Structure 1
Amino acid sequence: MVLSTMYPKYSVRKGGKTVIMEQKLLKRISHLLLDTARCVGCGICVDACPKEAISLGMVGASIRGAASGEAPISVDPAVCSYCGVCTILCPFDALLVEVDGEPSLPILEQEGFPEYDFTAEISEEKCVRCTSCHEACPHDAIVRDVPVYEGEVEGGVQRQTALNGDVTFQVDTEKCTICGICGTLCPALTVARDPFYPGTMTPTG
């Protein structure tokens, strides 16, 4: 699909499981590559994009192998600035910016490295003492201390006793990528990310 016949030119095409957004200038060609096999539709890039060029795709598109064939996110190649903020923040390495065929992060050269502030909380009333959040975390960032119920092993704790016990829930902030999968899976978990705008960027290095 070609969106313009004059410079700059914009286009979107698919190559296997990769969606390629292109901006073609007279002396510069920029690409944003989306690996649909890696993308889970967590929405971090949507929040982070300073141009609001990214939107979430159809419901269910993040399910790998979805029959619809839709990508979990959609990027407007004419609005995208190809700055690389989404590439830096994507916890699944699903996005890549290329300039003239070479990987590039223009945002690092121009404005600094963006960071997120986040909180992860668990409701003791809603938690049923399972380990789904720990098992679902793609980076093993959640630590749970859940007693084994009786019947599962010899000497296991009675279910009611376990349900009335304190909840142990810890997040390793060095491993956590703020993808929010745990919060999406479990109603007892709340993962909050501060909205990202150019004015809230935190330069490092």
Structure 2
Amino acid sequence: MQEDIRLSVFSEKKDKQLVYLPEKCIGCGTCVQACPKGNLAVGAVGVIARGLLDADFLEIKESEECIVCGICAKVCPTGALELRQEGKTLNDISYISKAMKPTSVNENCVHCGLCEDICPQGCIEVTREISKDGSLKLVGKTNIDTDCCVHCGWCAAVCPVNAISVEKPFAGRWTRGEDICQTCHTCVEVCPANALFNKKAKPGERVEKITHRPDACIYCGACAVSCPVNAIDVRKTAILPKVEKKGVLEKKLLEVPVPEALLRTCLETDEAACLGCGNCVIVCPVNALNSRELAAGYLNEMDEKTLLEVKNGRISVVDQDCCGADGACAMICPVNAIWLVKREVK
């Protein structure tokens, strides 16, 4: 880990600190599931992942309420939370991120570069050149940055010589409500493992809204946390690494639904800039869930909208608290007349 990595001290008690490393966080909310005080908040994962809001996925509600027990750090699959004592990070095998075997490459590697090309986190670097000993082969190095690896297994799956070993953090179950999903692609853009995508359909074939790649999924739950209409359910069914006192962590995580994403944003609008085109109203997944006709483009035939509507040719927010913080409205607006800002967590 680099020395200049950004961090936040969430809480301090005597000689212990709970430290948050935002660059390593994937917004999965696993720590929120495990916190015995319910003192951590995750939300706005979609709009943050899309670069539309400058904020962190995670924050602490009341630092004074935190008992610095470290359970959140123990269950974090990426090491984005650390428990430190007298300034030193505690990193024994009671922490999932430390108990997991690091993704590694052995001497069978031919440095073809497929793993580098496919890694969703960009944490593999391959250097290669043609051998100068007269043989027809590539020589070089394959380096894996284990600090940013999320253990998705893509690299091992594409390796033609089985030179890469990966251990996943969780086994689990992923389901999606076909009638609820609005194909807003928030989950696709949030997924740290590139485990979700839109399947291309052949002529006459029914198109799935979102398709799941089970072999790439790490069952972290970030997709479910970010879904603005709660169409996705992710359950962890096992902790895979040999973690010390695994039973305690399993009681906190297994078969538990992802935490409720707190509304950490507000919609703001510029009525003077608004063109009244209604694109934001139509694309909003919360609006679309309420009315299929609206999602199909029948903007002016619907009297009531759930979240956004156009009145007198200008955008209007109907119910701020219904927002799923996905940012689809801001992305489609041609004149930047609608955007999201951070608000304080209560």
Query: TM-score, normalising length from structure 2?
Result: 0.36
Aligned positions, number: 166
- Shifted more, 90-99 versus 67-76: the winner is 67-76
Counterpart of 2:251 (choices 187, 200, 203) is 200
Pick one of 193, 198, 202 that aligns with 1:139.
193
In 2 relative to 1, CA 132–39 (structure 1 residues): closer, same or farther, beyond 3 Å? Answer: closer
Which structure has the bigger radius of gyration?
2
Shift of 1:17: 3.4
- Counterpart Cα distance in 2 of 1:186 and 1:67: 16
Structure 2 letter corresponding to 1:20: V
The structure whose residues are more often helix, as a share, is 2
Matches of 1:44 and 1:116 in 2, distance apart?
A: 11
Does 2:7 align with 1:18? yes
Preserved contact between residue 122 and residue 169 of structure 1 (Cα < 8 Å): no
Moved more, 92-101 or 132-141: 132-141
Looking at structure 1, the residues matched to 223 and 211 of structure 2 have their Cα atoms a distance apart, in angstroms, of: 19
For 2:206, give the aligned amino acid.
Answer: L
Percent identity (aligned): 22
CA RMSD of aligned residues (A): 4.6
Conserved 8 A contact 1:84-1:107: no
Task: Give the Å deviation of 1:170.
Answer: 4.1
1:50 aligns with 2:101: no
Alpha-carbon deviations, 1:5-58, whole Å to 9, x = none? xxxxxxxxxx98321134343xxx11111123333543322221012232347x
CA distance in 2 between counterparts of 1:199 and 1:129 reads 32
Amino acid at match of 1:63: I
Match for residue 205 of structure 2 among 162, 179, 190: 162
TM-score, normalising length: structure 1 = 0.55
Which runs of no fewer than 5 residues in structure 1 stay unpaired? 1-14, 149-156
The verdict on how the C-alpha distance between 1:80 and 1:147 changes in structure 2, with shifts beyond 3 A counting, is same
Please state if 1:63 is matched with 2:22.
Answer: no
1:39 maps to 2:25: yes
- CA distance in 2 between counterparts of 1:167 and 1:21 reads 36
Closer, same or farther: CA 106–166 of 1 in aligned 2, 3 Å: closer
In structure 2, the CA distance between the partners of 1:43 and 1:188, relative to structure 1 (3 Å rule), is closer
